[in-house]
Amino acid sequence: MNTVLNLRYNLLMDKQAQLIVMKHLSVNAPKEFDVVNLLSQNGIRMTQQEFDRFVGHMLLGPGYVGIGKSSFYHFYATEKGVQFGKTVTVDIPEKDEQKKIIFSFKPHNWEESSKVLHEPILDGKSHYADLPIIVYGYDTPKMFLPIKISDSKISIKLAKEESQKNLSKEQTNIEIFEKDGFKMLVCSGSHYTSEKILDIRFMQDLQKQLKTDLLAVSLPTKGRMYVANGSPSSLETIAKFASITQMFYSKSEKDQLSPRLFAVKDGQLLGLIELDSPNQNIEKSEKGGKPGFLKRLFGKN
């Protein structure tokens, strides 16, 4: 690594070196290799100090090496070069891409949660393993970029205020499913549809549409929200709704959020709706051989 710099070391040289590493990684499986030798073979020689600067500045270290704008390999700096581990996805938006702060729901066991700005969806329920967490970040044109705790001066209070403003601008489609006296609203059409459960005005409008004093809301998967009458006098409706929620949650192999039912009143998320026996055999055939409710609702007779 104790080599001599042949060319003037500047930002352009940094970029050239980065492109060489990126090109190498694009055609080679991640494994330990000597970065200095790779650069030397391509006409770039660095001193130890310059190499350290390159790793820190252009390889986005410590911890990441660029392959593209949004895909990176985790690495460990060694005397031989760089040793690569598992693939992760991150992004560093340009300044003009940092348009707005918003929050996104992530599963409770999301492995990156300890590194980013987040909080539980319900106070006092952070120990629930099947409730999503609220992660604050930037909504860039290509992806949601969580705000890292280590390099952010943004407080949760500020992030929450900005997120609420921006969430209200997200457009969401609403479909109505109705069968045998059961009525359910299905919201979709935005990456942040699930998060609309925290959009007070939007949830107030849904409550008026269902003409009820309490909403039962479920978020089985990312990007969708299901809403039904949650009034205590509508236990049969809630039981059917719980079965539908469990079905969507169980069938999803990715983007799972929660099998729980949330209670929303006057636009405010109050807590959870608990049932002693949530399934109540709703999905099974009823007496007389009549197809079960779920099959009738979704036209699978």
Question: How confident is the chain (301 residues) per 10-residue block, as mean pLDDT?
Answer: 35 68 64 68 70 58 39 43 44 50 92 91 82 92 82 85 94 92 94 96 97 96 95 91 93 88 96 70 41 44 40
The answer to whether residue 134 sits within a structural domain is: yes
Rounded CA separation 233/237 (Å)? 9
Q: Are 5 and 47 in contact (CB under 8 A)?
A: yes
Q: Which two tokens stand for residue 288?
A: 């007389």
The answer to whether residue 6 sits within a structural domain is: no
Cis peptide before 146 (omega within 30 of 0): no
Rounded CA separation 202/138 (Å)? 22
pLDDT score for 295: 46
Measure Cα distances from 270 to 84, 108, 267, 279 in Å. Answer: 45, 19, 9, 23
The residue written with tokens 């500020």 in the block is: 158
Examine the domain organization and report whether 188 and 270 are in the same domain: yes
Domain end (from 35, 70, 89): 89
Examine the domain organization and report whether 183 and 137 are in the same domain: no
The SS3 assignment for 49 reads: helix
Q: What residues contact residue 153 under an 8 Å CB cut-off, 6+ apart?
A: none
The answer to whether residue 243 sits within a structural domain is: yes
Examine the domain organization and report whether 187 and 252 are in the same domain: yes
Q: What is the DSSP letter of 33?
A: B
Examine the domain organization and report whether 100 and 46 are in the same domain: no
pLDDT score for 29: 54
Question: pTM score, two decimals?
Answer: 0.63
Q: Which two tokens stand for residue 15?
A: 């970029």
Rounded CA separation 219/196 (Å)? 10
The answer to whether residue 201 sits within a structural domain is: yes
Q: Which two tokens stand for residue 39?
A: 């650069």
Examine the domain organization and report whether 85 and 148 are in the same domain: no
The SS3 assignment for 42 reads: coil
Domain that includes residue 79, residue range: 11-89
Helices (H), the chain: 11-27, 35-41, 48-57, 156-167, 200-210, 235-251, 293-297
**How many structural domains does the chain have?**
3
Rounded CA separation 217/197 (Å)? 8
The SS3 assignment for 230 reads: coil
Examine the domain organization and report whether 67 and 147 are in the same domain: no
Domain end (from 167, 188, 204): 167
pLDDT score for 63: 40
The answer to whether residue 2 sits within a structural domain is: no
Q: DSSP readout, 2-27?
A: -----S--SHHHHHHHHHHHHHHHHH
Rounded CA separation 6/4 (Å)? 6
Examine the domain organization and report whether 177 and 153 are in the same domain: no
The answer to whether residue 3 sits within a structural domain is: no
Phi, psi dihedrals of residue 82, rounded to the nearest 5°? -130, 130
Examine the domain organization and report whether 260 and 196 are in the same domain: yes
Domain end (from 89, 118, 140): 89
Angle between helices 48-57 and 11-27 (to 10 degrees): 70
Examine the domain organization and report whether 264 and 199 are in the same domain: yes
